[in-house]
Amino acid sequence: MPPVPLVGRMGHREGKAVHGIMLRLARWVAIFGGIVLFAIIAVTTVSVAGRLLNTIGHSHLLASSMPSLATFLQGFGSLLGDFELVEVGSAMAITAFLPWCSMKRGHATVDIFTATLPRRANGLIDLLWELVFLVVLTVLAWRLFAGMSDKMRYGETSFLLQFPVWWGYAACAVLMAFAALVSAYMVFERALALGGADGPALEGAAGNGTREESRGGGR
The pTM (predicted TM-score) of the whole model is 0.80
* Structure confidence by residue, pLDDT tens digits, 143-201: 999 999 999 999 999 999 999 999 999 999 999 999 999 999 999 988 888 876 543 33
Looking at residue 39, its pLDDT comes to: 97
Q: Provide the residue ranges of all domains of the chain, joining segments of one domain with +.
A: 12-216
Burial label for 194, CB within 10 Å (0-12, 13-18, 19+), is middle
Residues in the chain: 219
The Cα–Cα gap between 85 and 71 comes to: 28
* Structure confidence by residue, pLDDT tens digits, 82-131: 999 999 999 999 999 999 999 988 887 777 877 788 888 888 988 999 99
The Cα–Cα gap between 77 and 97 comes to: 32
Give the residue-averaged pLDDT of 56-75.
89
* Structure confidence by residue, pLDDT tens digits, 17-53: 888 999 999 999 999 999 999 999 999 999 999 999 9
- How open is the CA angle 187-188-190, to the nearest 5 degrees? 65
